[in-house]
Chains A and B, each alone.
Chain A
Amino acid sequence: MTQSKKDYFDIDDILAEEEKIPCTFQHDAYHLGLLDTGSVDLDLKRFSTIHLAFWLSYPLAKRLLVSLDYPMAYQDEFKNKLIADPKVISMRKFQYYDIFGIKLANLFDNPKISTLLFKTFRDRFLDIYNQSLHLRNADISKSLQKYTVVERFVFLNGYNSSIAYDDWKNRRGEKLKQEGDNDTNNNNNNNRSTFSNNNKDKLKRKRFTDMGNDD
């Protein structure tokens, strides 16, 4: 898998690669007993199975030193649940389901995973998009928990742009504000949590760095 320069520094990409894959060693391994927390031996025995993070299993699998199995969340049981009704499943435990899934699909060279990810995302997307534009004064932290990192990005973009549009329409942007200040003068927005304000600032910031980015 080729890694682009952008991904190398991407924190989400790094954290996604922390997800574990069950690996079975095809040979004895010198002084690797420390990988298996249950063992006291110095060497790792052949055919022992350990859950290793993606970033570690990938180079080992590439040289055929280990054989890989699918992680739980990508085995049939969970997959069937996803196919049955993608919208109701909470992704709280699988924050990186899509980013990690893409890596897995490349690793196993399995187009079925890609198809599954695509269908899941497509079915969930419309709901997320709709909610992002209509959940204005509600507490969004609960619904955010159910999304994966990618879905959260979609949601927050929609959510923040609808707020920004509203601000623009009512010419609220005219008032100069203190950096990081919540617009307390707005009665309509008193309900808005600091959380969303932070995110609004974040979005704003993002725009600026795109302009000011020289790397």
Chain B
Amino acid sequence: MFTEKAIEILKELKRSETIPPYNSTTISKTIEEICALYTEYYETVTENKTLKTTPYFLAHTYVFHSSAARNKRCILAYLMERSKRIREFRWNSGGGLLSVNLKENMSQDELDYFNDYDKLLNEYHTNVGLDLTIDTEQPPKELFIEVRVLKELGQVVLNSGGTVNLHLNTTHFLRRSDVGGLISQGVLEHII
């Protein structure tokens, strides 16, 4: 049966919660399948010009055409779902940084897409004057929070202009908006 491979990548995507490795081999195989299906029914139709509307040939045409359309739909849905997850990741991580793992799992086009989307979102946040990706769980009570450093970072310039020495296992009392991004990256830990 046709379209089996295309269904397989959708199932693979559905099993995973994050962004699984981009399955370029299956995609190119599916595209080859679409071409083969098309050639086959195109030849059948052109060879039997007078008979092509009889049920005998019509069934053949419909099966091949539907299979090709189905393959296309599967690939598009696969790419669509992945691009959705990439956007979600940008909103959740609160920054334009990808881990090495994710980078390996994405295709070149997806990486470009992520970078462009990141740029777009940053531009928007600058224009609005507010980063919409932080403090989404609950409105903050205090302007300053206490944080502990989990990864050695050295001297860092903060968004608000000041500099701070983030050495391993030291604690700091800093402006919430400055460190939100670092916390979601796992560099700092919020202490209550």
Interface magnitude class on chain A: 35 or more
Contact of A11 among B14, B132, B141 (CB under 8 A): B14
B113 at the interface (CB under 8 A from A): no
Most interface-central of B13, B55, B138 (chain A CB within 10 A) = B55
Task: Tell me whether B92 and A11 are in contact (CB under 8 A).
Answer: no
> In whole angstroms, what is the CA distance A179 to B44 when docked?
55
Question: Least Cβ distance of A31 to chain B in Å?
Answer: 6
B160 at the interface (CB under 8 A from A): no
Task: Tell me whether A11 and B10 are in contact (CB under 8 A).
Answer: yes
Of the listed stretches A58-66, A67-75, A131-139, A151-159, chain B binds A58-66
- 13 A-B pairs in the complex with CB atoms less than 8 angstroms apart: A11-B13, A11-B14, A14-B7, A29-B60, A32-B59, A35-B1, A55-B70, A56-B67, A66-B59, A176-B190, A179-B186, A201-B17, A202-B17
Question: Least Cβ distance of B50 to chain A in Å?
Answer: 14
A4 at the interface (CB under 8 A from B): no
Contact of A176 among B1, B56, B184 (CB under 8 A): B184
Q: List residues 112-159 of chain B with CB under 8 A from any CB of chain A.
A: 121, 132-133, 136-138, 140-141, 145
Interface magnitude class on chain B: 35 or more
- Which residues on B sit within 8 Å (CB–CB) of A178? 183-186, 189
> In whole angstroms, what is the CA distance A123 to B142 when docked?
48
Q: List residues 25-54 of chain A with CB under 8 A from any CB of chain B.
A: 25-32, 35, 44
Question: Least Cβ distance of A32 to chain B in Å?
Answer: 6
Question: Least Cβ distance of A29 to chain B in Å?
Answer: 4
Task: Tell me whether A11 and B77 are in contact (CB under 8 A).
Answer: yes
B57 at the interface (CB under 8 A from A): yes
Closest chain B residue, CB of each to CB of A198: B17
Closest chain A residue, CB of each to CB of B142: A174
With known contacts A14-B74, A15-B10, A9–B190 Cβ distance under 8 A: no
With known contacts A176-B180, A209-B84, A32–B60 Cβ distance under 8 A: yes
Question: Least Cβ distance of B186 to chain A in Å?
Answer: 4
